[in-house]
Amino acid sequence: MLKKVFTRPRYLKDRVFHYCPGCGHSIIHRLIAEVLEELEIGDRTICVPPAGCAVLAYDYIDVDMGESPHGRGTALATGIKRVLPDRIVFSYQGDGDIAAIGTAETIHAANRGENISVIFVNNGCYGMTGGQMAPTTLPGQNSTTTPGGRDVSRDAAPIDLSEMLAIAKGSTYIERTAVNSPKNIRRTKKAITKAFKIQMAEKGFSLIEILSPCPVNWKLSPVEAAKRIEEEITNYFPIKVIKDNIGKIA
């Protein structure tokens, strides 16, 4: 008899992802679905997907989904969570969504210590609109709006949103991870698990920043894109626990 050892998580729909080859969203979706199943919270979770490539997350993650206007994910999540405090509420946002147009909402939700979780997918560009400069685009990095590379004196330096949020009094747990290697993927899953556990324990605001490849807009192969995260991006955005007011959580 063959034993099934790997299967689709309960909270991932049986659909083909529309994401580009080598994109990190599908990995992150799967990790979230696995965590929801393992923590047995999938039937009391509400996700707030963003504007951006992951706007269609409701086609894949099988929980209640409430679409947010661009950048307002944490404001919507605040509204949902305050009405239903015993549910698990998380927003799923890209770097343009959370660190440019939605900066104010994000900082204030963190500072209020809203008991929500945020999945912040950082791919260093506006993917869905075709690869424009994001607040997280690295110095020198080419984008359609920084032809010749991001010039810090002209286009500003990348914004360290997670570090900024760590300063906020209300934030509880902030970690930066990546999905470019099996090791980092495992680390990301652990971080997501911890974020949800913190919310289940009503311990406040947590955010996981996930460095994620965008091979198409970076004009690299999926393998090269994964390598770029390891060799280039993590130098600027180091993988680390940025803030942890909780420590170990059961």
Partner 1 sequence: MSRLRCTVSKKFLLRGSQVIGEAAVRAGCRFYAGYPITPQNELTEYMADAMNAFDNRTFVQAESEIAAINMVIGASMAGARAMTSSSSPGISLKQEGISFLASQELPAVIINTMRGGPGMGNIAPSQGDYYQATRGGGHGDYRTIVLAPASGQELADLTRTAFDYADTYRSPVLILGDGMMGQMMEPVTFPDPIRLEDLPQKSYILDGAKNRPSRAIFSLLLDPSIEEERNWKLGRKYEIIKREIPRAESHLTEDANLVIIAYGTAARIAKGAVKRVREMGLKVGLLRPITLWPFPSKMLCEMTRHVRNFLVFEMNTGQMVDDVKLAVEGRAHVQFYGRPGGVISTPDEIAKIINSLYHRQQLEEV
Binding mask 105-144 for partner 1 (x = CB under 8 A): x-xx---x--------------------------------
Q: 208: helix, coil or strand?
A: strand
* Contacts (CB under 8 A) with partner 1, residues 165-194: none
Binding of residue 62 to partner 1 (CB under 8 A): yes
Rg of the chain (C-alpha set): 17
Among 12, 33, 35, 48, binds partner 1 (CB under 8 A): 48
Task: Give the shortest CB-245-to-partner 1 separation in angstroms.
Answer: 22
CA distances from 1 to 4, 8, 101 (A): 10, 20, 54
Among 67, 224, 230, 232, binds partner 1 (CB under 8 A): 67
Binding of residue 206 to partner 1 (CB under 8 A): no
Instruction: Tell me the torsion sign for CA atoms 212, 128, 66, 237.
Output: positive
- Residue 178 CA to residue 222 CA, distance in Å, equals 14
Residues 6+ apart with CB under 8 A from 140: 149, 150
Of 20 and 55, CB closest to partner 1: 55
Task: Give the shortest CB-242-to-partner 1 separation in angstroms.
Answer: 22
Among 72, 197, 228, 243, binds partner 1 (CB under 8 A): 72
- Residue 47 CA to residue 192 CA, distance in Å, equals 14
Q: Side-chain half-sphere of 154: how many Cα atoms within 13 Å?
A: 10
* Residue listed under structure tokens 């269609």: 56
Residues 6+ apart with CB under 8 A from 234: 178, 211
- Taking Cα atoms as reference points, which of 207, 20, 217 lies closest to residue 98? 207
Task: Give the shortest CB-93-to-partner 1 separation in angstroms.
Answer: 13
Task: Give the shortest CB-29-to-partner 1 separation in angstroms.
Answer: 14
Neighbours of 99 (CB within 10 A): 25
Task: Give the shortest CB-38-to-partner 1 separation in angstroms.
Answer: 17
Which of the ranges 59-67, 144-152, 166-174, 179-187 carries the binding residues for partner 1, by CB under 8 A? 59-67
Binding mask 28-47 for partner 1 (x = CB under 8 A): --------------xxxxx-
In this structure, are residues 124 and 233 in contact, taking their beta carbons and an 8 Å threshold?
Answer: yes
* Contacts (CB under 8 A) with partner 1, residues 82-111: 82-84, 87-88, 104-105, 107-108
Q: 76: helix, coil or strand?
A: helix
Of 11 and 173, CB closest to partner 1: 11
Q: Which residues bind partner 1 (CB under 8 A)?
A: 42-46, 48-49, 51, 55-56, 58, 62-69, 72, 75-84, 87-88, 104-105, 107-108, 112
